Amino acid sequence: MKDVKVHALLRLVVALLCLLPFWLDGPAAASGAETMPAFALPDLGSGVGTIGSEDFQGTVVLVNFWATWCPPCRREIPSLVKIQDQYGDKGVVVLGISLDKGDRDKVAAFIKKIGVNYPVALGDTEIARKFGALGAIPFTFLVDRQGRIVNKYPGYTTYESLRDSVEALLAADKAP
């Protein structure tokens, strides 16, 4: 009986060690040289036109998947607004992709009401699939000026973590 308990405890420890990278503080580094997928999505900020991946060539982009019904998403928005305020003039753009289904007017009213200062597009499962299996939202991707996904942030991410990653990427751009 004692051997069974020891064996079960050992399996638990191994399983927990396998999950350790997901619990570490900080973003998950993107694997390989993934690039931001091509897309053209309805623009919710102005209610007309589209937002496309080609609009961000040569720009650092924080692509944030979210929804109005998601409490962690709503809690993260002020950090994204602050990032846009602080780094917009340095070639950084936050792009929100709402995964709300249905009433686009409701989402447009929501982003206006809370003062979102960055472009927001209406997404769907197709664009989420193109970026990779999100699993849950919020989910944010940091894309460099060459269009490569350099960091992934599953779940709620603090302002400090986003700021530090953006600043590191901007500093790397300036390095000789």
Summarised one tens digit per residue, pLDDT across range 97-128 is: 999 987 788 899 999 999 999 999 999 989 99
Over residues 119-160, the pLDDT tens digits come to: 999 999 899 999 986 788 999 999 999 999 999 999 999 999
pLDDT band at 14 (very low <50, low <70, confident <90, very high): very low
pLDDT of residue 18: 29
Enumerate the domain spans of the chain. 27-174
Over residues 51-89, the pLDDT tens digits come to: 999 999 999 999 999 999 999 999 999 999 999 999 999
- For the cut 50, the answer to whether the pLDDT of residue 27 exceeds it is no
> Could you tell me the two tokens for 61?
């982009």
Q: Quote the CA–CA distance of 4 and 145 in Å, as a whole number.
A: 54
- For the cut 50, the answer to whether the pLDDT of residue 2 exceeds it is yes
Say which DSSP state 46 is in: S
Say which DSSP state 143 is in: E
User: In the chain, what's the furthest Cα-to-Cα distance?
Assistant: 68
Give the architecture-level CATH label for domain 27-174.
3-Layer(aba) Sandwich (3.40)
pLDDT of residue 102: 76
pLDDT band at 28 (very low <50, low <70, confident <90, very high): very low
Using alpha carbons only, give the angle 17, 26, 127 rounded to the nearest 5 degrees.
100
Mean pLDDT calculated for residue range 21-31? 38
pLDDT band at 48 (very low <50, low <70, confident <90, very high): low
Q: Is 98 left (phi over 0), alpha (psi -120 to 50) or beta?
A: beta
pLDDT of residue 21: 31
pLDDT of residue 45: 75
pLDDT of residue 172: 86
